[in-house]
Amino acid sequence: MRAVSALSVTGGANPGASGDGPSTAPDADPSPSERWLLASDPILEGIVHALSNRVGTVAMAAEALAEVGGSLGATLAAEAERLEALLRVLRLVPRSPEARPEIAHPATLAADALALVRIHARWRDLPVTLEGLDPLPLVDVCGTGVTHALVLALGAALDVAGAATLVGHTGERPEPVVVLDVAPRFAGAPGAGAADELRVAVAAAGSLLRAAAGETLTLHGESGLTLRMRLPALGA
C-alpha cells in the first residue's frame, strides 16, 4: 500500500457535487441531507431543553425528599446528576453554524469529543488514549465545530484500527499553533483500504474544521495515516 505523506484534504473544490454532500454554491438548493440537518438540529435542541426541564423537576423532588429523610431522595438526586451528565453530552450534538469563535482549552475540546465517541454504538467500547493535552495553550475557535471534527477523526481511526490515540503538542507556522494528532493504533499491518477510508474522513472532518477554525486537516506521519489538525493558539 502506497504511503501518504502530509496529504492535505479539505473537502475538494466542489463539496456539493454529490447529492448528499454539503452545498457551498451561493444559489444551490440544500440537499436532502442538508434539509434534514437544518430541521433536526433545532428539534434536538428542543428535546434537550424539554429534558433539561424534566431533570430540574426531578432534582427539586429529590431535594424535598431528602429533607424528609430516607434513601429515596438520595437515589433520585444521583439519577438527576447522571441525567444532567447525559444532557451535557446531548448538547454537544447539534451543529452550531452561526457560532462565534470562543476561547477554549484543547483538553476540553478533546474530552467533549471523547464523550460523544463513548455514546456511539460502534465506537463506545474501543480504546482511545489522550496524551499531552493539559499543558497546551488556549485556542480561539468555534468549539462545537472542532469537537465534531475530532469525533469524525477519532471515529475514522477506530474504524480502521480498533484503537486510537489523540496527542497534543505545539508548533510554529511561523505563528504558534496547537497541533492535535489522531493516530490509528493498528494491532498489525494496516488494512488495504485504511488510507482510503481515512482520506474520506479527512475530507468531511476538514470541512468542519475549516468552518470552525479556518484550518485544514491533513494526513501526516511516517505512514501517512495520522490525522493532523492545527488550531490557532490564543494571541497568535
Q: Where are the domains of the chain?
A: 7-18+101-232, 32-90
Higher-confidence position of 103 and 6: 103
Distance CA 27, CA 119 (A): 37
pLDDT (0 to 100) of residue 191: 83
Distance CA 217, CA 195 (A): 14
CATH fold of the domain at 7-18+101-232: Heat Shock Protein 90 (3.30.565)
**Which of 159, 118, 110 has its CA nearest to residue 134?**
110
Distance CA 93, CA 189 (A): 34
Q: What's the pLDDT band for 2 if we cut at 50, 70, 90? A: very low
Distance CA 116, CA 5 (A): 29
Distance CA 94, CA 145 (A): 10
Which cell numbers in the block locate residue 187?
A: 494491532
| Helix locations, the chain, DSSP H | 32-68, 72-90, 106-117, 143-161, 194-213
CB 192 within 8 A of CB 217: no
Percent of the chain with pLDDT over 70: 86
Pairing between strand 139-141 and 102-104? antiparallel
Mean pLDDT for the stretch of residues 192-215: 90
Summarize pLDDT for 10-32 with one digit per residue, the tens.
333 333 334 344 444 445 677 77
Percent of the chain with pLDDT over 90: 43
Distance CA 13, CA 26 (A): 14
The CA–CA distances, whole Å, from 49 to 43, 94, 147 equal 10, 12, 21
Q: What is the pTM of this model?
A: 0.77
**Which of 63, 209, 203 has its CA nearest to residue 139?**
209
Distance CA 143, CA 51 (A): 23
pLDDT (0 to 100) of residue 236: 56
CB 181 within 8 A of CB 228: yes
| Helix locations, 91-193, DSSP H | 106-117, 143-161
Mean pLDDT for the stretch of residues 178-184: 96
Q: Find how far residue 222's CA is from the centre of its chain.
A: 25
CB 11 within 8 A of CB 211: no
**Which of 156, 135, 136 has its CA nearest to residue 208?**
156
Angle at 208 between CA 205 and CA 213, to 5 degrees: 115
